[in-house]
Amino acid sequence: MDPQSQTQLVERLRKTFQSGITLPEQFRRTQLTQLMSMIQENEDQINEALYRDMAKPKFETILSEVEIVMNELYHALSNISYWMQPEPASKNLATKLDDCFIRREPLGVVLIIGAWNYPLQLIVLPMVGAIAAGNCVIVKPSEVSSATNSLISELIPKYLSQDCYAVVCGGAKETQALLKNRFDHIFYTGSQAVARMVAQAALVHLTPVTLELGGKCPCLIYGRVNFEAAAYRLAWAKFFNTGQSCVAPDYVLCTTATRDSLVLALIKVLEKFYGKEPQKSPDLSRIVSPRHWTRLMELLRKTRGKVVVGGENNQEDKYIAPTVLVDVPEDDILMSEEIFGPILPIITFESLEKSIEFVNRKEKPLALYIFSDESSVVKTVMEKTSSGGFCSNDGIVHMTLPSLPFGGVGASGWGSYHGRWGFETFSHRRSCMLRGWALERLNGLRYPPYSEDKLKW
Ligand code: NAD
């Protein structure tokens, strides 16, 4: 779509929004129900698209693209009436007779820009909040996951009101042109580098932004630990979607003794998950593009760490085996950027305090994990660190609960969504005071001419 058509689209949606069509609860419900039908009736096409984009196993697609979105839709449909209710505000003596409340109002025309790693979820899940809140929406899926991108652009106009919701396709150039238009909110998921451009474009119109970004999510393992269970959960969270998850554990911090037991357990678990030849496993997706594969292989080529399992790769197949490394120096290349692939470095610190100091020297992560049987260790890590989300003795699962806000802090993101928080992100909380004409004599105290006597009141 050329820039002029993009501008016309934004203007068309703005006119629709101003008509008030998206305001009634019933309209929002109908659209959310349609979104549900879109997912249910096209499950096979969704699986196929995700397979074409990154050979994603059906099981992972159902869990992370279909069920999570359906769950969000059920949650929104069950709660929308309550969310839309005006919220009474507490009053003081001077406002006793007034009607004071907070109204959640839609923002207008909002833009949702998605990333490729969960290409359907990252478009539809924020859309649930935006529709529930009564907005018109333009979505811009990632061009990197091209099969899912095409499917989204085919399905959304088929199921949702074309007057209110639209899909714009394209890469950096088209997104930058789109961002020149004035939106009422921009919701961006992706890298920190592009987030800076999005925030700068938004600044021109003073448009508020939500930034769902990434970073390096640490996994600390300290105190008594059940190594077998820890290895299962860590390996699942890390190698789900072949490590291409914003909340995947990026690196492990533990003592040397823990590392030795953990490595043995991880080797066993990886063989159980993917067999002796993971490349032949149907349960391991591929790296999304040759460019991303090359970036990950560069990290593996330049690291000073020692591979203890994995390392095998195949360029044509965009394959990299689940790989674990030890003896990784603190300033290694693997620690210089978010890994976002199936590579897990283990760094050792003999004390929990040193590990916490290490984490706190870096940018605040999107998620932080602590594996320990000892609740005092879990509590210490929770209290002495900061991150978007926190989970003990597992990974990723905290983001599946719609009653928990999902988002980063500091460089890992601004704002949050999921469940009520998605609705809130796309709503304006308007302070309303409805006042009548009573007590005018009392009001008279605030009018000029002022006097010392009036201040005594
Ligand atoms: P990406 O390449 O798909 O880019 C994201 C979006 O930005 C796409 O729609 C793309 O078209 C657009 N874009 C890319 N370059 C642009 C440019 N120069 N100008 C304007 N728009 C541009 O995805 P990515 O950036 O590689 O995403 C990976 C990152 O996203 C990782 O850091 C990951 O941690 C993060 N992420 C965060 C979350 C979250 O919910 N917090 C979820 C998924 C991914």
pLDDT given for residue 454 in this prediction:
84
> Residue 432 catalytic?
no
**Active-site annotation holder among 60, 65, 72, 212:** 212
Atom from ligand 1 closest to the CA of residue 144: 3
3-state SS assignment for residue 237: helix
* 289 Cα to the center of ligand 1, angstroms: 14
DSSP letters, 284-303, are ----S-HHHHHHHHHHHHH-
Q: Compute the distance between CA of residue 60 and CA of residue 58 in angstroms, rounded to an integer.
A: 5
Q: What is the pLDDT of residues 283-297, one digit of tens each?
A: 999 999 999 999 999
Longest dimension (CA), the chain: 89
> Residue 164 catalytic?
no
What is the dihedral sign for C-alpha 287, 291, 292, 294?
A: positive
Answer for the pair 26, 124: CB distance below 8 angstroms, yes or no. no
Do 300 and 421 reside in the same domain of the chain? Answer: no
pLDDT given for residue 191 in this prediction:
96
Atom from ligand 1 closest to the CA of residue 114: 9
Q: Enter the pTM of the model.
A: 0.96
* 176 Cα to the center of ligand 1, angstroms: 13
Q: Is 143 in the pocket of ligand 1 (CB under 6 A)?
A: yes
Do 234 and 368 reside in the same domain of the chain? Answer: yes
Do 260 and 163 reside in the same domain of the chain? Answer: no
Do 325 and 190 reside in the same domain of the chain? Answer: no
Answer for the pair 418, 125: CB distance below 8 angstroms, yes or no. yes
Instruction: For residue 208, give both structure tokens.
Output: 């508020």
**Active-site annotation holder among 100, 217, 246, 254:** 246
Do 326 and 314 reside in the same domain of the chain? Answer: yes
Do 87 and 53 reside in the same domain of the chain? Answer: yes
Do 225 and 243 reside in the same domain of the chain? Answer: yes
Q: Is 142 in the pocket of ligand 1 (CB under 6 A)?
A: yes
Do 40 and 80 reside in the same domain of the chain? Answer: yes
Atom from ligand 1 closest to the CA of residue 116: 3
Q: Report the b/e string of 329-357 with b at 16+ CB within 10 A.
A: eeebbbbeebbbbbbbbbbbbeebeebbe
Q: Is 359 in the pocket of ligand 1 (CB under 6 A)?
A: no
Instruction: For residue 257, give both structure tokens.
Output: 């003794």
The reply to whether 444 falls in a domain is: no
The reply to whether 435 falls in a domain is: no
Q: Report the b/e string of 45-78 with b at 16+ CB within 10 A.
A: ebbbbbbebbbbbbebbbebbbebbbbbbebbbe
* 338 Cα to the center of ligand 1, angstroms: 13
Q: Is 171 in the pocket of ligand 1 (CB under 6 A)?
A: yes
Nearest CA to ligand 1 atom 24: 190
pLDDT given for residue 448 in this prediction:
93
Q: What is the CATH number of the domain that holds 187?
A: 3.40.605.10
Instruction: For residue 409, give both structure tokens.
Output: 């802090």
Q: Is 60 in the pocket of ligand 1 (CB under 6 A)?
A: no
Cβ-in-10-Å burial (0-12, 13-18, 19+) of 407 comes to buried
Q: What is the pLDDT of residues 380-427, one digit of tens each?
A: 999 999 999 999 999 999 999 999 999 999 999 999 999 999 999 999
Q: Which domain holds residue 65?
A: 3-214+415-428
Do 58 and 198 reside in the same domain of the chain? Answer: yes
**For residue 67, what are the CA distances in angstroms to 60, 61, 203, 246?**
10, 9, 36, 18
* 213 Cα to the center of ligand 1, angstroms: 8
* 193 Cα to the center of ligand 1, angstroms: 9
Q: Is 418 in the pocket of ligand 1 (CB under 6 A)?
A: no
449 upstream amide cis, omega within 30 of 0? yes
Instruction: For residue 163, give both structure tokens.
Output: 């007057």
Atom from ligand 1 closest to the CA of residue 406: 40
3-state SS assignment for residue 250: strand
Q: Contacts by 276-280 with C-beta closer than 8 Å and gap 24+? A: 278/310, 278/312, 278/321, 278/322, 279/312, 279/314, 279/317, 279/319, 279/321
Do 226 and 323 reside in the same domain of the chain? Answer: yes
Do 203 and 231 reside in the same domain of the chain? Answer: no
How many independent structural domains does the chain possess? Answer: 2
Q: Is 181 in the pocket of ligand 1 (CB under 6 A)?
A: no
Please enumerate in sequence order all residues whose Cβ is within 8 A of that of 382, keeping only pairs 6 or more positions apart, or say none: 370, 390, 392
Answer for the pair 356, 365: CB distance below 8 angstroms, yes or no. no
Do 143 and 268 reside in the same domain of the chain? Answer: no
Nearest CA to ligand 1 atom 9: 142
* 189 Cα to the center of ligand 1, angstroms: 6
Which regions in the chain score pLDDT beneath 70? Answer: none
